[in-house]
Chain A
């Protein structure tokens, strides 16, 4: 089955000591930790690309008609006399969304942390299928490269928005981009394959490879959320793949799936896309919630409040996520009765989400708070996610959504959950598990500075978007100043742009901290955060094969902070055996078939 988790215990010992070539160890690695780190570097690169595109969008919206600084290096097809052309602007909008959703946030949450954390946190040697895992990474990279190549083909990048609404996306004569629209479809099909391969691995590993004593309800919430996320991905990505294949055939073979002129249905694309798209929303937030839960319990030195309700809230959100896709389509001419159904099911999601938010607050309440960088960012996550969730309720309600639809208000909401939510959780997770990845700590001082500056500039950037959105500024317009009714709020657009530039600049603090600490960070102790998870029983960085040839025994749940049994410490790791603990009884091995 595998190359790593193979055969007999003594073979494992050999595998650990056998010298591996650089290529085998770091490039074509089957080790889940290396694959996670590969995903980390690649998706941080795509995060930077997405950020650069966003800066150009903000320049155009804040200073339309002014030459883009440094725009001279762009070809004539993109800028004229340094001014961004409308054709290039729509490419920016499309590719910013595509890169951020599919190639930055999704792989950062799922590719990096599902790979890195699942085997470490459930106490096994590797994924169930390490080679498939490696393929999943290389396919994701291939998909990203195909997508990126769209900028370098003659017609320029795709232009139909990241949602690729048909028939604009299906007909090159409408979009003006013949090659890159096809590249988009191909890239998404490859990415879907990569995601399915990864998710099959995560699900199988969590079900079948938990260490003795790691019962379902002793799993950390990060593992629970990654498990549910993998189920969502396995069921949602194939639908997007199917849709992208139909789109690709429309673009290449002359089929008519989404072409209303020949009997196709443009609305079908929206249904397929959002049937995938809404579970995707939870793929992008559930892992963030799980990792924030772990970090908040650690930073509060208290057991997580309502562990079981947290688990059931994750499951509830994931289930409801399947029956709400219509709320993206209230403006598509949908039957109002059906619209009300989608409205009610969407509003129901507020219930499990609120359960989670209150549980995080209950965890912090009267805790012995430690404001380390991960904790600060996790608190940032909770507060920003709450704002994003509340503005989500606006859009869930059909009557409110109709005037707000396709305005900057939506942009504000999306960034509050995706940047304020997912990315803040990642700013918490990256320094938190950094020592286990690289053996060193990220600088606490730069981390705090980065957090406070990001928090301030982030809110300065995205909060005013609610206001200009309510003022009627549409979502993807090229130049707000050509509309009389938008002119009065142009100063606010300029303010947003300045804030966005500051926000982008501050991220270089993070990049510097990340790269500098690789070499010069403080050497990390084994358990720097005094946490309870199994991964902290390993040396830094965690070795190939983790605990091989053994697996740790698990004696309790993951959130035993400030337990009286722990003695003078305020934490009690899952792997520590107290005199009163009995070893878990190993399960009998199942039959071979």
Chain B
């Protein structure tokens, strides 16, 4: 009884109000925030497009500097985390919270919020980890936000094959690459931290139920948004 009132009250003032958007406030708030985040990435991506097509010489060819297969794998990891997020949502909507607990006739992956949330967190953290490794490797090869570092491996390559490595545009290439992927990585990191927080304060103590799983839905919205942004970024930064 107590629980039901709490659920109702968090959505609305304790007494009924005017019909609003028909969704609870946290979800609405997240949608509004995502609208603002869209504008943020629009500013970054818009600047990228303007700068790239304003350059006198063409961009480095895809795959010349960046490791496309590795990042392709990373993209797959992030998409997997979106899938597992949906599975987590579906599991708790059915009231399935179990994890490493014998449920007669069920296997581990048949469901359970705890299992799928953990998978999501691992995939998200894995994405950030791979991105960090990628950054370290790139910087080691001489790719920095300011361009190809003097006397580095990439600087030598660029001297040998200026077209393939976009020698004339290296500065802008580095600037846009690190800014866009960096801010996406920052968003993923924030998502992973939020999910870890929810995992230890709400998921493991079994605070969610089939009647109330709004936290999962709200963080899921954010997570799918971050995933979507990555698919756009992967296409325009790595593939074309």
A positions within 8 Å CB-CB of B: 1-2, 5-9, 12, 124-125, 128-129, 196, 199-201, 203-205, 207-215, 234-239, 241-243, 245-246, 249, 253-257, 262-265, 268, 271-272, 548-551, 584, 586-590, 592-593
Contacts and interface: CB of A to CB of B under 8 A. Distances in A.
B92 to A, nearest CB: 10
B36 A200 contact: yes
B69 interface: no
A229 B10 CA distance: 26
B17 A239 contact: no
B28 A253 contact: no
12 contacts: A6-B10, A128-B25, A129-B26, A209-B25, A212-B16, A235-B36, A236-B39, A239-B42, A253-B178, A257-B172, A550-B15, A587-B19
Contacts of B172: 256-257, 262-264
Nearest to B212: A592
A215 B20 CA distance: 10
Contacts of B93: 593
B171 A262 contact: yes
Contact of B47 (A129, A200, A257, A586): A257
Contacts of A215: 18
Nearest to A253: B145
Contacts of B26: 1, 129
Nearest to A254: B146
A7 B5 contact: yes
A272 B46 CA distance: 9
Interface string B1-40: 0100111111111111111111111111100110111011
A487 to B, nearest CB: 43
A8 B29 CA distance: 22
A267 to B, nearest CB: 9
Contacts of A5: 9, 13
Leading 5 A-B pairs by shortest Cβ distance: A242-B43, A586-B16, A254-B146, A255-B175, A208-B20
A238 B55 contact: no
Given A128-B25, A208-B12, A550-B15, A255 B179 contact: yes
B174 interface: yes
A376 B43 CA distance: 42
Contact of B51 (A128, A129, A257): A257
A129 B42 CA distance: 26
B211 interface: yes
B205 interface: no
Contacts of B15: 9, 212, 549-551, 586
Most buried by B among A236, A239, A272: A239
B29 A128 contact: yes
Contacts of B168: 263
B36 A234 contact: yes
A522 to B, nearest CB: 33
Contacts of A207: 20-21, 28
B222 interface: no
Nearest to B5: A8
Most buried by B among A204, A212, A586: A204
Given A234-B32, A235-B36, A272 B212 contact: no
A414 B181 CA distance: 39
Most buried by B among A199, A208, A587: A208
Given A268-B47, A268-B50, 16 more contacts: A8-B14, A203-B28, A207-B21, A208-B11, A238-B43, A242-B42, A249-B145, A254-B144, A254-B145, A256-B147, A264-B51, A590-B11, A590-B22, A592-B24, A592-B212, A593-B217
A239 B25 contact: no
Query: Interface range on chain B: under 10, 10 to 19, 20 to 34, or 35 or more?
Result: 35 or more
B202 to A, nearest CB: 12
Contacts of A255: 145-146, 171, 174-175, 178-179
B104 interface: no
Contacts of B236: none
A208 B17 contact: yes
B169 interface: yes
B25 A204 contact: yes
Nearest to B29: A204
B44 interface: yes
Contacts of B54: 263, 265
Contact of A210 (B20, B39, B42): B20
Given A7-B9, A589-B8, A241 B32 contact: no
Contacts of A208: 11-12, 17, 20-21, 23-25, 28
B51 A265 contact: yes
A352 to B, nearest CB: 23
A584 B183 CA distance: 48
A592 B214 contact: yes
Contacts of A265: 50-51, 54
A271 B50 CA distance: 11
Nearest to B20: A208
Contacts of B43: 238-239, 241-243, 272
A107 to B, nearest CB: 18
Most buried by B among A128, A254, A548, A550: A128
B40 A587 contact: no
Given A255-B174, A264-B172, A590 B14 contact: no
A205 to B, nearest CB: 8
A249 B183 CA distance: 12
B98 interface: no
Contacts of B47: 242-243, 246, 257, 268, 272
Contacts of A210: 17-18, 20
A265 B51 CA distance: 7
A241 B13 CA distance: 33
Nearest to A235: B39
Most buried by A among B10, B33, B147, B175: B175
Contacts of B16: 212, 586-589
Given A129-B25, A200-B29, A268-B50, A242 B18 contact: no
A196 B145 contact: no
Contacts of A12: 14
Given A243-B43, A254-B146, A262-B171, A209 B12 contact: yes
B234 interface: no
A263 B55 contact: yes
A131 B176 CA distance: 35
Contacts of A199: 32, 36
A268 B25 contact: no
Nearest to B172: A263
Nearest to B168: A263
B29 A129 contact: yes
Contacts of B99: none
B35 A234 contact: yes
Contacts of A268: 47, 50-51
A209 to B, nearest CB: 6
Nearest to B54: A265
B199 interface: no
A241 to B, nearest CB: 6
